[in-house]
Structure 1
Amino acid sequence: MHGPRSSALGRARSAALIGLAVAVSAGCSGGGDGENREAAERTARPPGTHSWTSRPCDLLAGEAPAEGFTLGSTTDSASPDSQEDIGENGARPLYRQTGCLADLKAPDGTFWKLSTRASVYEETEAARRAYRVKQNLDRAHGRGPEKVHDAAYVLSADDQGRPGRTLLLWNGDLVLTVSAYAAHGSTEHAVREDLDRIVDNAARRTEDGLRDHGASSPAA
């Protein structure tokens, strides 16, 4: 199958992969209930409370970034100091940021890149607002964000000729950005599926690693 229809199906499959990462996993992992799996792909994970870490790259270790890929050198980028966001009506909400830059080795021996950036806000509403501002900017600049669900979207990216994918996710007090870039000389069509798997996996593991699993969910 070729043409616009096959392209649309490819985009749908990519969105489903990422949607699955940020979905509610409880109740959807057992058995082979197709209806539950479809619901998981449409539903954001319940809001959580998250903590800052000085070792964000550790959250990506211990599991392959995607089938056939290996994690190479990593660099933590973590500021312990609170920063001020540009708020509304003179407000200056505070957040702390942590992130990881990593080299990935593809099955064919080429080197790809992965980056994560997590902003943990002191207030859930400030995180929600920051996510909406970024989403509106991407729309206004015609970047064509593809909706995953009401709290996440993905869009194509580029890094000096490297085709890439970027996922932006909001969950409770967390705004998470994950980007992956293929090797130089790659075409977006050829690497799109692997990029989505890498971004999907990194987003799931970073959000889960920062989440306080003992805390009650904040108000959405």
Structure 2
Amino acid sequence: MKGSRGAALRRARSAALIGLAVAVSAGCSGGDDSGTKGEAAELPARPPGVHSWTGRPCDLLTDAPPAAGFSLGSTTDSASPEAREDIGENGARPLYRRTGCLADLKGPDGAFWKLSATASVYEDPEPARHAYRVKEDLDRAHGRGPEKVHDTAYALPADDGGRPGRTLLLWNGDLVLMVSAYAPHGSTAREVRKDLEQILGNTARRVEDGLRDHDAPSPAP
């Protein structure tokens, strides 16, 4: 009896240690009970989609706050229905249309942040892929240190007159999306990074999903 009781205690202790290790591991990876995680968790990769242009891009952001404790303030649509020419590969000039939203955000403490989202919808996926890769290569060549979010999205630090910020670039099918957010003056990049990541991830997901034609078959990757 004594031996079996000792064995049971050892098994219970071992299970407790394993449970503690798992909990610590989850905490280090950025997860918690509230579901608040970093940028990569906020913006998982999605299958390629087909997207449409809209003249009311800010409407895509009004259904829910961009992050916990934040609220959307005044917004300005910047959407041109005219097709533009891009400089593609081998002299090709693919067409795309651009739409964007500029918005004020109010943080949990009442301070004002700034958010912008610009979506370029191409006539085909391949020119969109090329445009995304060119921008990524330029950012890398200029030492801006792109940080991979997943295979078709990356982030990098940004600045707006001393306001620390971050920019996210995403490619999905025929869409190239750029989202930037800036914290209030006097903030430090380190203290606002988590909020910036959540704002970028949530905004990018909502814009991509709002522009996506959910009835269209996915294009070839």
TM value normalised by structure 2: 0.83
What amino acid is aligned across from residue 155 of structure 2 in structure 1?
V
Task: Output the CA distance in 2 between the equivalents of 1:18 and 1:135.
Answer: 18
**Aligned ranges 1:23-42 → 2 under 5 Å:** 23=44
Aligned to 1:92: 93
Question: What residue is the counterpart of 1:127 in the other structure?
Answer: 128
Q: How many residues are aligned here? A: 190
Q: Secondary structure at the match of 1:81?
A: coil
**Could you list the runs of 5+ residues in structure 2 that have no partner in the other structure?**
1-27, 32-36
Deviations 1:43-90 (A, max 9, x none): x21000000000000000020111111100000000100000011221
Partner of 1:186: 187
Offset of residue 149 of structure 1? 1.2
Taking only the aligned residue pairs, the percentage that are identical comes to: 72
User: TM-score with structure 1 length normalisation?
Assistant: 0.83
Per-residue deviation, 1:13: 4.6
2:153 and 2:110 mapped to 1: Cα distance?
31
Is the radius of gyration larger for structure 1 or structure 2? 2
Matched, 1:19 2:40: yes
Query: 5+ unaligned residues in a row in structure 1: which ranges?
Result: 1-10, 24-43
Matches within 5 A, 1:50-65: 50-65=51-66
1:183 aligned partner, one-letter code:
P
Q: 1:21 touches 1:203 (CA, 8 Å); kept in 2?
A: no
Mapping 1:37-186, distance limit 5 Å: 44-186=45-187
Match of 2:210 in 1: 209
| Deviation >3 Å, runs of 4+ | 11-14
Amino acid of the structure 2 residue aligned with 1:20? A
The Cα of 1:20 is off from its aligned counterpart by 2.9
Q: Is the 8 A contact 1:18 1:199 kept in 2?
A: yes
The Cα RMSD (Å) is 1.7
